[in-house]
């Protein structure tokens, strides 16, 4: 999804809208720009004032799309309705930096994101360090990562290659399917946008894993504990790269994965061991 907010010069938010996804990695520039366009038009609809500055925070833009910022800008300015609105300053930047600013007023800190993808990014006195965040095929500890493990666990259990797990039951319930064929059709279901099918559907399975874990399912708990260890590892590495083990700094947790207490507790434990003075912001 793409969240677009209109704020006044004091920073007061006047309006917030939600449009389709704009992840460059999953959609490509053309489709992403379309949803950004929709967001800006929607948020400025009936707005009588003048816009002076626009910041677009995008996933993957500081990774493999760094060289494409100008192309994205041009694509946005090409849209007549939009170029009228975007007369002011237009900046394209990282969703990670935006998340830090959303979580703290402090200049420096570390942000650990675990939603569909996962990344840890830290800023300290002009230095910057980033670990993980290489897309849904990697991103150890992310929702997709957990969902893929869950999907594998389900079929291993059905095949007799792995132990029975309550994850199957929970996933079947979640997707409202009766058998494995229906589950597969649901997960792989082909549409033109990968974001609409497997990336989203696989990530959603992490919710069923949480349910199964709450019911005491062993495999579900193992997957979540492993995810938490991977997330803690990337945060610890960022902290070590910035040499801020002994500093006081905010660590901001963003993303659905931290709604699971198993994950949050385990990640916290792993990080606190290395950097005891951090201020945790969830």
Instruction: Kindly list the residues in this chain that would bind a copy of itself in the complex (CB under 8 A).
Output: 25-28, 31, 63-67, 131-132, 134-135, 137-138, 140, 148, 151-152, 155-156, 159-161, 180-182, 184-185, 187-188, 190, 192, 194, 198, 202, 233-234, 237, 241
Q: Which is nearer to a copy of itself, 43 or 187 (CB)?
A: 187
Of 54 and 60, CB closest to a copy of itself: 60
* Residue that is written with structure tokens 């059709």 in the block: 185
Q: Which is nearer to a copy of itself, 109 or 135 (CB)?
A: 135
Report the alpha-carbon distance of residue 250 to residue 133 in Å, rounded: 20
Shortest distance, position 228 Cβ to a copy of itself, whole Å? 15
Instruction: Give the residue from 75, 87, 88 showing the smallest Cα distance to 36.
Output: 75
Q: Which is nearer to a copy of itself, 6 or 235 (CB)?
A: 235
Provide, rounded to whole angstroms, the least separation between the CB of residue 73 and a copy of itself: 18
Which residues make Cβ contacts (< 8 Å) with residue 259, sequence separation at least 6?
A: 210
**Which C-beta is closer to a copy of itself: that of 41 or that of 274?**
274
| Token pair listed for 7 | 């704020």
Q: How far is the CB of 242 from a copy of itself (least distance, A)?
A: 13
In whole angstroms, what is the distance from residue 137 CA to residue 139 CA?
7
- Minimum Å gap between C-beta 99 and a copy of itself is 19
DSSP assignment letter at 257: G
What is the C-alpha to C-alpha distance for residues 209 and 105, in angstroms, rounded to an integer?
A: 34
Q: How far is the CB of 237 from a copy of itself (least distance, A)?
A: 6
Q: Which residues pair with 34 in a beta bridge?
A: none
Gap between the Cα atoms of 244 and 230, Å rounded: 20
Question: Is the Cβ of residue 134 or residue 259 nearer to a copy of itself in the bound state?
Answer: 134
φ/ψ of 236, rounded to 5, equals: -60, -40
Q: How far is the CB of 61 from a copy of itself (least distance, A)?
A: 11
Closest by CA to 187, choosing from 222, 150, 221, is 150
Please give the angle made by the CA atoms of 78, 3 and 252, to the nearest 5 degrees.
Answer: 125
């Amino acid at each position: 999804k793409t969240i677009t907010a209109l704020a006044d010069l004091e920073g007061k938010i006047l309006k917030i809208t939600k449009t389709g996804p704009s992840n460059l990695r999953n959609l490509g520039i053309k489709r992403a720009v379309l949803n950004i366009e929709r967001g800006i038009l929607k948020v400025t609809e009936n707005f009588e004032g003048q816009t002076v500055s626009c910041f677009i925070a995008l996933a993957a833009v500081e990774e493999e799309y760094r060289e494409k910022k100008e192309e994205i800008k041009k694509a946005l300015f090409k849209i007549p309705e939009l170029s009228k609105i975007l007369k002011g300053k237009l900046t394209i930047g990282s969703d990670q930096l935006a998340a830090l600013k959303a979580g703290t007023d402090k200049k420096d800190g570390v942000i650990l994101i675990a939603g569909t993808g996962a990344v840890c990014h830290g800023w300290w006195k002009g230095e910057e360090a980033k670990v993980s965040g290489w897309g849904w095929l990697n991103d150890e500890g992310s929702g997709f990562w957990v969902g893929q493990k869950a999907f594998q666990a389900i079929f291993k259990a059905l095949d007799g290659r792995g132990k029975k797990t309550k994850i199957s039951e929970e996933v079947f319930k979640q997707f409202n399917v009766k058998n494995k064929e229906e589950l597969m059709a649901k997960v792989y279901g082909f549409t033109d946008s990968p974001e609409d099918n497997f990336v989203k559907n696989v990530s959603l399975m992490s919710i069923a894993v949480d349910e199964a874990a709450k019911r005491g399912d062993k495999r579900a708990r193992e997957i979540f504990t492993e995810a938490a260890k991977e997330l803690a590892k990337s945060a610890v590495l960022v902290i070590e790269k910035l040499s801020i083990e002994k500093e006081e700094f905010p660590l901001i947790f963003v993303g659905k994965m931290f709604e699971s207490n198993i994950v949050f507790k385990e990640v916290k434990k792993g990080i606190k061991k290395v950097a005891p003075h951090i201020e945790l912001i969830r």
